[in-house]
Structure formats: structure tokens, C-alpha cells
A and B are shown apart, each in its own frame.
Chain A
Amino acid sequence: MVRMIRKEGGVNIVNHWVLAVSCILLTVTGYGFLFKVEGIGYLCGGFPAMRIIHNWVGVVFLVSLFLSLFMYLKESLTFDADDIGWIKVAGGYLSHKAQVPPMGKINTGQKFYYIGLVVFGFGISVSGFLIWIFPENTQWLTLSHLIHNICFIFFVIMVPVHIYLGTLANPGTLRIMISGRIPYTWAKKKYPKWIAEVEGHGDKM
């Protein structure tokens, strides 16, 4: 038996997939609106129905994003010298010879991704709710529409990167968001500072 360690708890995993599924549904229906894709509209039962789906899935997305703040925000805003080292070698993604500094539970790239997710996620949510609930004020509507679409660009670019890095680029990583458990030796190599912390406290085995 390979010795395993739990990296993500059940609540985090469920919340991750709620956020992921709502995000993908919103992206697909969002593309449907952006390019007037009739096929996506038909799948939803017409564009008026697609609007209702888009809006209410947006509520799910916002709640899930809000919950995630308690899971990742603190660590994502904590930077040290190793994070600068990580940026210098681009996380080791450009060359396998690069020496990546020791990382904590989440690495520098993940921290930036999460900060972007929070900024653009709340941006797209708040602007979306303004479009939904207060369309009478045309100036606010125009501004919200612009912000909503700028934030959309972040999602359509960064979410595929996140999916790639979490699956193909780092085989084995997907387990963290399925069972939540990874081999201890692997964790020690990838997240040495986290393991040191865990060992120091002598818990979370």
C-alpha cells in the first residue's frame, strides 16, 4: 500500500465541482448569447429559457465562489521569496531541468489563478446581477455589459489553462479533486513546505 495523504477535504472537492460545472454551463450559454448560437439556445429550450438558466446558474456560481474564499483566499494572498523564485523559472513548465523552489500547499501559479478567479469571478457576477436586476439604468447597463465581457475573457483563457495544468500537464493531479488523497512521497516532492508543516504539527495524516 502506498502511503497516502489527504490534500483536499470533501467539502472543498464538492465545492470545486459545483463551481466548475456552473462555470462551464455559464460559459457555454454565455457563448450562446455572445454569438447568437441557435443550437445552444435550442438545448436550453429557447433563448428566453436560456436567460433564466444563465442567471440562476450564476447564483450557484457566486455562492460557490463565495464559499471558496474560506478555503483558499488566505493562502493565496501569502507570498514569500520562493514565490519569486517560482515566477523566475515559470514554475518549471518551460524546462524540466529548471529548479523549482519548494512550494507550500498551493504553488505560486495557483495563487495567481485563484486571485484572478476571485477578482474576475466577482466582477462577472456583480456585473451580471446588475444586467439582470437593474437594466433600466442604461449607463449602468452599458458599463456592466462591458465589465461582464472583459471578465469573460479571463475565464475563457484561464479556465482551459487550469484544466490543462490539472490534468495532462501534471499527471496525477486530478486525484486531488476526486478522492482528495495523493501519495505521501509525491506530496513531499511537490509540496515540501506543506508536508513540513504537517509533520511539524503531526496531524492530517
Chain B
Amino acid sequence: MALTKMGLLISPEACIGCRGCQAACKSWNILPAEKTVNLGSYENPKDLMPHLYNKIHFVEAPSDKDPVRWLFISQRCMHCEDAGCMKICPSPGALYRTREGAVGIDKDKCIGCKLCAAGCPFNIPRYDEKGKISKCHFCFDRIAHNMTPACAKTCPTEAIKYGPRDELIAFAKKKGYEKVYGQSDLGGLGALYAFKDAPKVYGMNEKPEIPETIVFWHNVLKPLSYIGVGGVVAASLLHYFAIGPHKDKDEEVR
């Protein structure tokens, strides 16, 4: 039985860029530190990594009105309702829906094919040293016990807020955010973003979608692969009984 669909509301305007969530995520999930290099920004590492499920993306968006505008955006698995990774994954149970609506991972069942990266509209999956998927799993082990995910738990400003998804949307609307990013994209994202500006200002895809070829594969090629076989077997039977096999009357067949 599905529980209430849970979500995270991420408010870049409330984020102070402390990256406590990054550290808390590593702490709870026992992930080693990465060796980093100074790239001239506090954003570090530069990208999500096999041992980095959640990262604060730093965006500098200065304007005349606001010469010092820094935006801090938590990047992680969005836990899509219509998840491209789950669609394309060939191994049952490697990616699964938790009762709270998250996209969980089971590394024992992951076959390391990396197709989920092709199915993901947000470029999230990374692969560990064994070639198996690693990504944010919404602290499935915490939320299953009514605990807050590590990132949200540690956030000092509620820039990452955990709760029932519907309530988070209502909360954001009450705060004056007309459109919540992820409210309806891909069937509804588990990670919601309260953006003041266009998503692209925050480095986010305006209209995230599962690649068309994968949708085509899922909707057309997959059904065709069994309808085709069924059709051919039926046609062969029909041919056998309606027209019949080639029989040589006057020749010795055996």
C-alpha cells in the first residue's frame, strides 16, 4: 500500500550555501570524501559523483538592481513519478518505487549497464567502482521510519524541506511561489523547487523530458516485440491450415 507521497521542497532563495546537506548526506550514507581542486568557486566538487548524491550548485546572477546575487541549488535525483531510469532499466528491482514515492536503488540487482543514465532527464545517475548505479535514494532507510532525510534534517534554513508532497506545494504557493518546478513535470517530481526566476537561471532544464527515442522504444518497440511474434505464429498456423504445406505428390519425399 502506498503511503502519502513524500517530497522535498528546495528553496534556493533561502539557502545560505553552507553545504551542510552535502556533508550530512555523506555522513548518513557513509560516503568517502572526494579529492577536490579549487575551481575558483565554493562549489565543490564541480559535479555529482559516485560518492556525492547531493550537491549545492552555485550560480552567480548579478544584475544592476542586485549586484551580488548568489543562488544555491541542491542537485540530486528528482524522484520523478514517470521515471525514465525505471522505464529503461532491464533488471527488475534494481530501481524500485518506495512506498513514499521515491526511486530507490538495490545495488545487488543492478547489472551495471548504465542505461539509466540514458533514461534520466536530469543527468543524475553516477556509477561506483563496481560500475553500479549510485544516486540519491531519498534516505529511504530514514523516511521508512518516519525520519527526515539527512539533507533536510541538517538544513538550518529550511531551504530543503521534507514533508508530504501536497503540503509542500501548498506551502510554497502560500509563500507566493506561483509555479513550483516539478509540480507536474514527468508526472510530478519528488524534489520540488521554489524558483523566483525562470528555471534556466538556476541551471535547470525548462521542460525536462525522457528522451523521445526511449519513449518510442517503450510505447512502440516493446509491444511490437511480442505482438510481432504472436502475429507471425498465428499467421503460420493460419497458413498451415488454410493453404497447407508444400507436398510433393509424385516425388519421393523421404
Q: Is the interface of A mostly helix, strand, loop or mixed?
A: helix
Within 8 A of A (CB), among B196-254: 211, 213-214, 216-217, 221-222, 224-226, 228-229, 231-233, 236, 239-240, 243-248, 251-254
A170 to B253, CA, bound (A): 10
Kindly supply a per-residue 1/0 record for chain A positions 38-57, scoring 1 wherever the CB is within 8 Å of any chain B CB and 0 otherwise: 10010000111011000000
A135 to B247, CA, bound (A): 51
A48 to B245, CA, bound (A): 43
Complex interface: chain B residues within 8 A of A160 (CB): 229, 232-233, 236
Looking at the complex, which one of A141, A150, A169 makes contact with B114 (CB distance below 8 Å)? A141
Q: Is B90 an interface residue (CB 8 A)?
A: yes
Looking at the complex, which one of B94, B228, B248 makes contact with A186 (CB distance below 8 Å)? B248
Complex interface: chain A residues within 8 A of B233 (CB): 160
Looking at the complex, which one of B88, B239, B246, B248 makes contact with A145 (CB distance below 8 Å)? B88
Kindly supply a per-residue 1/0 record for chain A positions 7-33, scoring 1 wherever the CB is within 8 Å of any chain B CB and 0 otherwise: 000000000000000000000000101
Q: Are A131 and B243 in contact (CB under 8 A)?
A: no
Q: Are A189 and B251 in contact (CB under 8 A)?
A: yes
Q: Is A168 an interface residue (CB 8 A)?
A: yes
A202 to B221, CA, bound (A): 50
Complex interface: chain A residues within 8 A of B110 (CB): 48
Q: Are A141 and B92 in contact (CB under 8 A)?
A: no
Complex interface: chain A residues within 8 A of B23 (CB): none
Kindly supply a per-residue 1/0 record for chain B positions 103-121, scoring 1 wherever the CB is within 8 Å of any chain A CB and 0 otherwise: 0000001111111011000
A50 to B245, CA, bound (A): 38
Interface size class of B (residues with CB under 8 A): 35 or more
Looking at the complex, which one of B89, B109, B118, B244 makes contact with A141 (CB distance below 8 Å)? B118
A170 to B252, CA, bound (A): 14
* A143 CB to nearest chain B CB (Å): 7
Complex interface: chain B residues within 8 A of A96 (CB): 243-244, 246
Q: Are B217 and A145 in contact (CB under 8 A)?
A: yes
Complex interface: chain B residues within 8 A of A200 (CB): none
* A123 CB to nearest chain B CB (Å): 14
Looking across the interface, which residue of chain B has its beta carbon closest to that of A36? B92
Looking at the complex, which one of A33, A93, A168, A171 makes contact with B253 (CB distance below 8 Å)? A171
Interface size class of A (residues with CB under 8 A): 35 or more
Q: Given contacts A146-B216, A160-B233, is CB(A186)–CB(B239) below 8 Å?
A: no
Kindly supply a per-residue 1/0 record for chain A positions 149-161, scoring 1 wherever the CB is within 8 Å of any chain B CB and 0 otherwise: 1101100110011
Complex interface: chain B residues within 8 A of A183 (CB): 251-253
Q: Given contacts A157-B228, A171-B253, is CB(A138)–CB(B117) below 8 Å?
A: yes
Q: Are A38 and B221 in contact (CB under 8 A)?
A: no
Q: Are A138 and B245 in contact (CB under 8 A)?
A: no
Beyond the given pairs A164-B240, A189-B248, 17 more chain A to chain B contacts, judged by CB atoms under 8 angstroms and listed by A's residue number, are: A2-B252, A34-B222, A41-B92, A47-B109, A47-B111, A48-B109, A93-B239, A93-B243, A141-B115, A146-B217, A149-B225, A157-B228, A160-B229, A160-B233, A161-B236, A169-B239, A189-B251
21 interchain pairs, CB-CB under 8 A? A31-B225, A46-B109, A48-B109, A48-B112, A135-B114, A135-B117, A138-B118, A141-B117, A142-B214, A145-B217, A146-B213, A149-B217, A153-B224, A156-B226, A156-B229, A157-B232, A164-B232, A168-B245, A171-B245, A172-B253, A186-B248
